């Protein structure tokens, strides 16, 4: 990212259970450690990123963690996830609860918000315990017994709403026809569905709030030019029963597979053709026809599902018949034998048969009016904030909202973001279907590698040119390998050829505007470049050391000359004084000899004391030799 100046993306893909989320955790740990030095209110970015996982795991579904990039709602709802209803030796619920609270502190969720969150979760659990039966006077649903009424009362207290209003929102519906309101009572089955719908929408809103809060807490620096994105998406799924969730998940995998195909195969080989280099085309499986089948508008499966949702009398049977008629001759669409409402799509990873029973209900994205009003009127500010009043403009303009259409738009937005980055692909392979260690099913692994395009990617990587640089970029980076090739009037093509010939590189190709290098060759060139830079650095170091040594030598030479001159001057003065003292001693009688000798020695001692005050002078051995000669 720093060298090329381009944002990066890491796409982790593979079948469900192949280890995508664990791989993503490792990537997040590394990236958080490398970039997590900054702190926000005493919490490092590294801590906030890593502690987001326990929070999302606790509130995600029991099978796998919720991915950081959230497309749509959680696909599966369970009333219980972390609980002590079933004792498992490998899990400690109390410890996990404390870990979850600690993680919520780290990501910036206040204690008041945490209390409100657990109030909502507890209320949802009590909702799940409410059962309905037919009333004595009519077929209208009502709570089954005192136990159900107790859970209804507790749920109302936790939601901080009116108990009667909560019961009415579960058991009744208000129909508006021609300006007149009619209250309709629900049967026990419909009331149970209403109960589940309320639990789902509340939990979904809560989860949306958690994701938004965590993203705001971690937050990308607005001043940063580039990003590193890590995408951990649902893996390809094929179960005995496949509903609308699997349909959306597999559509996502088809889109990401197409992105992989375009980046690795289409764009790669189109550029080879454009640059007119010698190349043998490699065939690959293109899944564009599957995407057209699913999302083409009009006429695709999603469009037909949306159309069916807008007609009140549509059922999953009529939807299935419409699909059979429309795609009867499509090679990627088949009708299973003896099936009345199922259909099969031939995905890139294999055939998947979908059951249409709940397609229409799951594609409708709306909040029951009674549920919206109930939650919005809650005295708990946290609960009411999850259900703000819809704007009049939006409610009038968009009465129907499709999950499938929203999902498709989110996918398109995701792919547009990925198109601005340089992608790196991590393919996770599931070694066996029993999810146990030390078991390797060869055929299953080979099937995953082929379906994911890994085999073709290896072939194109071995035969292709993964590194390509424009002539100017290449010369700017590797000019040091042959400065003579880039004189004042040089041709870029010939200069690139000379540089590559000088390092004896084989197998490269020169296109119309770019240099194409095989796998590993850019590393070889960088090694030569590092060697050349090292050689240049050693020359610079040698020149600098030579300059410093010469400068020091000249300083010492100048100081030595000064010292020698000073010493000669001192010696002459000392010798003169000494000779005069000796002359006076010889010309005076023997009575004064001892006094004159003493005075002469004091004079010489004073001069030696002066010399001691000049440290630079004392460094010269010559001065001691000179003084020694004087006394000798």
Torsions phi, psi for 391 (to 5 deg): -70, 145
Choice among 149-153, 399-403, 480-484, 543-547 with the minimum mean pLDDT: 399-403
> Which tokens go with 95?
């410890």
Mean pLDDT, to the nearest integer, of 325-330? 94
pLDDT at 208 over 60: yes
Kindly indicate the confidence band of residue 261, based on its pLDDT and cuts at 50, 70 and 90. Answer: confident
Of 60-64, 69-73, 231-235, 387-391, least confident by mean pLDDT is 69-73
* Residue in 178, 211, 138 with CA at minimum distance from that of residue 386: 211
For the residues 384-396, what does the mean pLDDT come to? 73
Measured CA to CA in angstroms, residue 201 lies from 114, 207, 234, 294 at distances of 19, 10, 22, 27
In this structure, the answer to whether residues 171 and 315 fall within a common structural domain is no
Asked if residue 491 has pLDDT above 90, the reply is no
Q: Which of 519, 539, 561 is the last residue of a domain?
A: 519
Same domain, 352 and 490: no
Distance between CA atoms of 340 and 345, rounded to whole angstroms?
16
* Residues 286, 313 within the same domain: yes
Q: For residue 174, what are the contacts with CB-CB under 8 A and spacing of at least 6?
A: 181, 182, 183, 184, 369, 370
Annotated binding site for ATP, which residues? 14-21
DSSP code of 335?
A: -
Q: What is the CATH number of the domain that holds 489?
A: 3.30.70.1590
Distance (Å, whole) CA 256 – CA 466: 20
Indicate the burial class of 343 (C-beta count within 10 angstroms; 0-12, 13-18, 19 or more): buried
In a domain, 184, yes or no: yes
**Which pLDDT score, from 0 to 100, does residue 548 have?**
94
The mean pLDDT of 260-281, rounded to a whole number, is 82
Q: How many CB atoms lie within 10 A of CB 147?
A: 12
DSSP track, 398-427: -S--BHHHHHHHHHHHHHHHHHTSEEEEEE
The pLDDT of residue 68 is 35
Q: Is 445 part of a structural domain of the chain? A: no
Mean pLDDT of 390-404: 63
pLDDT band (50, 70, 90) for residue 589: low
d(CA 503, CA 511): 19
* DSSP secondary structure letters along 240-294: SS--HHHHHHHHHHHHHHHHHHIIIIIHHHHHHHHHT-----------HHHHHHH
What is the tens place of the pLDDT at every residue in 105-126?
888 899 999 999 999 999 999 9
Q: What is the mean pLDDT of residues 190-213?
A: 90
The number of distinct structural domains making up the chain is: 4
Would 431 be classed as within a structural domain? no
- Cβ neighbours of residue 327 under 8 Å, at least 6 residues apart? 293, 301, 333
Winning range, highest mean pLDDT, from 63-77, 127-141, 183-197? 183-197
In a domain, 501, yes or no: yes
Q: What is the mean pLDDT of residues 70-89?
A: 50
User: In this predicted structure, what is the pLDDT of residue 331?
Assistant: 94
- pLDDT at residue number 44: 62
CB of 210 within 8 A of CB of 55?
Answer: yes
Residue 49 has phi, psi (to 5 degrees) of -65, -45
Can you give the CATH number for the domain in which 375 is found? 1.20.120.720
Would 407 be classed as within a structural domain?
Answer: no
Position 164 confidence tier, pLDDT thresholds 50, 70, 90: very high
Tens of pLDDT, residues 353-363: 999 998 998 89
**pLDDT in the model for residue 140:** 84
pLDDT of 282 over the 50 cut: yes
| Chain mean position to CA 596 | 96
Cα 79 to Cα 81: distance, rounded to the nearest angstrom: 7
Residue with the two structure tokens 């293109």: 286
Higher pLDDT, 51 or 514: 514
The residue length of the chain stands at 632
In this prediction, residue 86 has a pLDDT band, given cuts at 50, 70 and 90, of: low
Residue 231 has pLDDT above 70, yes or no: yes
At 544-557, the pLDDT tens digits run 999 999 999 999 99
Say yes or no: 224 and 270 in one domain.
no
Closest CA to 218 of 69, 59, 45: 45
The CATH number assigned to the domain holding 274 equals 1.20.58.530
pLDDT tens digits for range 596-631: 555 555 555 565 555 555 544 444 445 444 544 444
| Range(s) of the domain holding residue 288 | 251-363
In this structure, the answer to whether residues 510 and 627 fall within a common structural domain is: no
CA–CA separation, 146 and 148 (whole Å) = 5
**Mapping DSSP to helix (H, G, I), strand (E, B) and coil, where does residue 350 land?**
strand
Residue 12 resides in a domain: no
- Residue 589 is inside which H or E element, if any? none
Mean pLDDT of 175-203: 86
Q: What is the pLDDT of residue 147?
A: 94
Block residue for tokens 């009688």: 589
Q: For 469, which DSSP code? A: E
Global confidence as pTM: 0.66
- Looking at the fold, whether 350 and 293 belong to one and the same domain comes out as yes
Half-sphere exposure of 144 (CA within 13 A, CB side): 12
State whether 113 and 185 are in the same domain: yes
Q: d(Cα 233, Cα 235) in Å, to the nearest integer?
A: 6
**130 and 256 share one domain:** no
Are 578 and 616 found together in one domain?
Answer: yes
Mean pLDDT, the chain, as a whole number?
81
Contact indicator for 56, 66 with CB cutoff of 8 Å: yes
User: Is 259 a domain residue?
Assistant: yes
- Taking only the tens place, the pLDDT of each residue in 427-481 is 899 999 887 888 999 998 988 888 777 887 787 777 778 788 898 889 888 888 8
Residue numbers in the known binding site are 14-21
CB 549 within 8 A of CB 524: no
Domain identity same for 268 and 129? no
DSSP state for residue 235 in the 8-state scheme? P
How many helices (DSSP H) and strands (DSSP E) are in the chain?
A: 25, 15
Taking every pair of Cα atoms in the chain, the longest distance, rounded to a whole number of angstroms, is 157
Give the domain-ending residue among 490, 519, 548.
Answer: 519
The stretch 397-420 carries a mean pLDDT of 82
Give 492's pLDDT tier (boundaries 50, 70, 90): confident
Residues 223 and 333 in one domain: no
The 8-class DSSP code of residue 65 comes to: P
3-state SS, one letter per residue, for 481-507: HCHHHCCCCCCHHHHHHHHHHHCCCCC
Find the range with the poorest average confidence among 5-14, 494-503, 592-601: 592-601
Residue, of 60 and 363, whose pLDDT is higher: 363
Q: Looking at residue 107, what is its pLDDT?
A: 85
pLDDT of residue 108: 86
Higher pLDDT: 506 or 590? It is: 506
Sign (positive or negative) of CA dihedral 294, 415, 461, 471: positive
pLDDT for residue 69 = 37
- pLDDT bin (cut points 50, 70, 90) of residue 70 is very low
The percentage of the chain sitting over the pLDDT mark of 90, rounded to a whole number, equals 29
170 vs 605, which has greater pLDDT? 170
Residue 459 maps to a domain: no
- On whether both 167 and 285 belong to a single domain, the answer is no
Residue 63 has pLDDT above 50, yes or no: no
Which one of 519, 539, 564 terminates a domain? 519
Question: Dihedral sign, CA of 460, 464, 466, 468?
Answer: negative
Structure tokens at 285: 């499986």
């Amino acid at each position: 990212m720093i060298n090329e100046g381009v944002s990066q993306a890491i796409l982790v893909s593979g079948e469900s259970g192949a280890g995508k989320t664990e791989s993503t955790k490792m990537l997040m740990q590394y990236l958080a450690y490398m970039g997590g030095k900054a702190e926000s209110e005493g919490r490092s970015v590294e801590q906030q990123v890593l502690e987001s996982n326990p929070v999302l795991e606790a509130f995600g579904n029991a099978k796998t963690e919720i991915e950081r990039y959230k497309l749509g709602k959680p696909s599966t709802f369970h009333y219980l996830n972390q609980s002590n209803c079933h004792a498992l030796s490998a899990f400690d619920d109390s410890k996990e609860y404390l870990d979850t609270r600690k993680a919520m502190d780290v990501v910036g969720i206040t204690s008041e918000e945490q209390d409100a969150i657990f109030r909502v979760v507890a209320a949802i659990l009590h909702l799940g315990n409410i059962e309905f039966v037919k009333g004595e006077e009519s077929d209208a649903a009502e709570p089954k017994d005192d136990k159900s009424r107790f859970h209804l009362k507790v749920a109302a207290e936790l939601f901080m709403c009116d108990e009667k209003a909560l019961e009415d929102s579960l058991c009744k519906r208000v129909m508006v026809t021609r300006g007149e309101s009619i209250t309709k009572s629900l049967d026990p089955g419909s009331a149970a569905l209403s109960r589940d719908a309320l639990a789902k929408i509340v939990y979904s809103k809560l989860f949306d709030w958690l994701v938004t809060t965590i993203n705001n807490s971690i937050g990308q620096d607005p001043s940063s030019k580039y990003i590193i994105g890590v995408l951990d998406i649902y893996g390809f799924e094929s179960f005995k029963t496949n509903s609308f969730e699997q349909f959306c998940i597999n559509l996502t995998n088809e889109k990401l597979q197409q992105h992989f195909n375009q980046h690795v195969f289409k764009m790669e080989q189109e550029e080879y053709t454009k640059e007119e280099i010698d190349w043998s085309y490699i065939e690959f499986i293109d899944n564009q026809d599957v995407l057209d089948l699913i999302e083409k508008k009009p006429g695709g499966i999603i469009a037909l599902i949306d159309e069916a949702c807008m007609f009140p009398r549509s059922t999953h049977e009529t939807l299935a018949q419409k699909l059979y008629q429309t795609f009867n001759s499509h090679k990627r669409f088949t009708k299973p034998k003896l099936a009345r409402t199922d259909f099969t799509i031939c995905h890139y990873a294999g055939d998947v048969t979908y059951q249409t029973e709940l397609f229409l209900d799951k594609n409708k994205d709306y909040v029951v009016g009674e549920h919206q009003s109930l939650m919005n009127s809650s005295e708990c500010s946290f609960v009411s904030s999850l259900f703000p009043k819809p704007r009049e403009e939006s409610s009038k303009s968009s009465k129907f909202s499709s999950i499938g259409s929203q999902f498709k738009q989110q996918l398109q937005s995701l792919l547009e973001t990925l198109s601005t980055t340089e992608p790196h692909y991590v393919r996770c392979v599931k070694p066996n279907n029993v999810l146990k260690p030390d078991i390797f099913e060869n055929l299953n692994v080979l099937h995953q590698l082929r379906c994911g395009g890994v085999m073709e990617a290896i072939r194109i990587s071995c035969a292709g040119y993964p590194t390509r640089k424009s002539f100017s970029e290449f010369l700017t980076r590797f000019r040091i390998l042959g400065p003579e090739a880039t004189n004042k009037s040089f041709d870029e093509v010939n200069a690139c050829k000379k540089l590559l010939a000088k390092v004896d590189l084989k197998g490269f190709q020169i296109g119309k505007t770019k240099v194409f290098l095989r796998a590993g060759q850019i590393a070889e060139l960088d090694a030569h470049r590092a060697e050349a830079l090292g050689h240049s650095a050693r020359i610079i170091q040698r020149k600098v050391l030579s300059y410093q040594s010469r400068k020091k030598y000249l300083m010492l030479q100048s100081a030595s000359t000064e010292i020698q001159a000073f010493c000669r001057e001192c010696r002459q003065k000392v010798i003169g004084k000494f000779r005069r003292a000796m002359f006076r001693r010889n010309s005076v009688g023997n009575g004064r000899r001892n006094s004159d000798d003493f005075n002469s020695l004091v004079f010489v001692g004073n001069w030696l004391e002066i010399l001691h005050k000049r440290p630079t002078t004392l460094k010269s051995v010559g001065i001691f030799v000179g003084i020694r000669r004087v006394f000798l």
